[in-house]
Amino acid sequence: MDHSGGPSLCFPNLNSSCRRLVRPRSEAALLYTLLAFISLLTVMLNLLVIISISHFRQLHTPTNALLLSLAVSDLLMGLLVMPIEGLFYLETCWLLGRLMCALSPYVSYCLVSASLGHMVLISIDRYVAICDPLHYTSKITMFKVKICISLCWICSFFYNGLILMNHLEKPDRFSSCHGECVVVINHTSGTADLLITFIAPCVFMIVLYTRVFVVAISQVRFMHSQTAAFTVRESLTTRKSEWKAARTLGIVIAVFLMCFCPYYYPLVGEDTSTSLSYYAMLSWIMLTNSCANPLIYALFYPWFRKAVKFILTLKILQPHSREVKIL
């Protein structure tokens, strides 16, 4: 076979086959190694988050329940979406058949929507914790959070089913040859989707976090001037803890926006199509967010670093390890 980088056919036995770009072996090996590394790293890091929060009882809080569900979404991104997307763009051919062409974009869109929904829920959680701390335990309960998480996933699957209904019914309707999987969302649906699943949630999160940081800063300044009494010092420690959590989750949301904004911006004003020349690059910028979240936890959450040590040294297999004080 010619490895000079010239074009060939995706399916040599079919006259209607799409043409593929044959990469030099060294380039192909490097790209496949990079794809495998990123996918595996994303899966492993998010698996550590899931095990940590699930295992240690002290981490069973409403905020961490949201982080756990977000990590499940990110893990599925690394396990299902990244390998398929990577194979498609490296081979420049769709080799997985008609059924996978229908399901793969649907799963990807659902996970993206679910991630965005979790970011909104995290923003609400931090807003109540900082701006209304006296009523936090009554307003944000584990039961309510689980209900919200379930609704987030259900709405994501239902909503994207509506958006991709035509594609799910006939996934090859926009394919010009065998070996192509193209998703096209018309301008009207794309604009509505942009407003519903990106602009409105992002504006909502930015407004909430602006309020959170203003209130948090004013609270810390006030308590610094009132540190004489023990109860006030104890309250200061609690508020600082909440502030650090808000800051860390604010960074998570900021990174999320930086990864997703490039993906959505060029799609305004035209039909959305996965065949666009820049789609692959923007899609991968978005996908890297699934790997970034647990890295942020590792940098800013001491409990996550401590939990990872317990997991990697297999101390979680010891009796009563679930009761260890991890915070």
Pairing of strands 7-9, 19-21: antiparallel
SS3 assignment, position 16: coil
Max CA pair span of the chain = 83
Q: What is the DSSP string of 141-197?
A: -HHHHHHHHHHHHHHHHHHHHHHTHHHHH-TTTT-SSBT----EE-HHHHHHHHIII
pLDDT in tens, 260-319: 777 765 554 444 545 555 567 777 888 888 888 888 887 788 889 999 999 999 999 888
Class of domain 23-323 (CATH, top level): mainly alpha
Q: Burial, 162: exposed, middle or buried (Cβ in 10 Å; 0-12, 13-18, 19+)?
A: exposed
Mean pLDDT score of the chain, rounded to an integer? Answer: 82
- Higher per-residue confidence, 253 vs 161: 161
Contact yes or no for 238/129 (Cβ under 8 A):
no
Q: Is 17 left (phi over 0), alpha (psi -120 to 50) or beta?
A: beta
Contact yes or no for 297/304 (Cβ under 8 A):
yes
Q: Burial, 225: exposed, middle or buried (Cβ in 10 Å; 0-12, 13-18, 19+)?
A: exposed
Tokens (6 digits) for 184:
């096209």
Q: Map out the domains of the chain as residue ranges.
A: 23-323
List beta partners, residue 17. Answer: 178
- Higher per-residue confidence, 50 vs 261: 50
Tokens (6 digits) for 302:
């001491």
Contact yes or no for 246/130 (Cβ under 8 A):
yes
- Above 60 in pLDDT, residue 247? yes
* pLDDT range class, residue 248, cuts 50, 70, 90: confident
Q: pLDDT exceeding 90 applies to what percent of the chain?
A: 32
Contact yes or no for 35/91 (Cβ under 8 A):
no
* pLDDT range class, residue 6, cuts 50, 70, 90: very low
- Above 60 in pLDDT, residue 232? no
DSSP state letter for 273? E
pLDDT in tens, 177-231: 888 888 877 777 777 888 888 888 888 988 888 888 777 777 666 655 655 444 4
Which residues fall within 8 angstroms of residue 6, CB to CB, at 6 or more apart? 22
* pLDDT range class, residue 326, cuts 50, 70, 90: confident
Contact yes or no for 109/160 (Cβ under 8 A):
yes
Which residues fall within 8 angstroms of residue 245, CB to CB, at 6 or more apart? 63, 126, 129
- Above 50 in pLDDT, residue 17? yes
Q: What is the pLDDT of residue 124?
A: 93
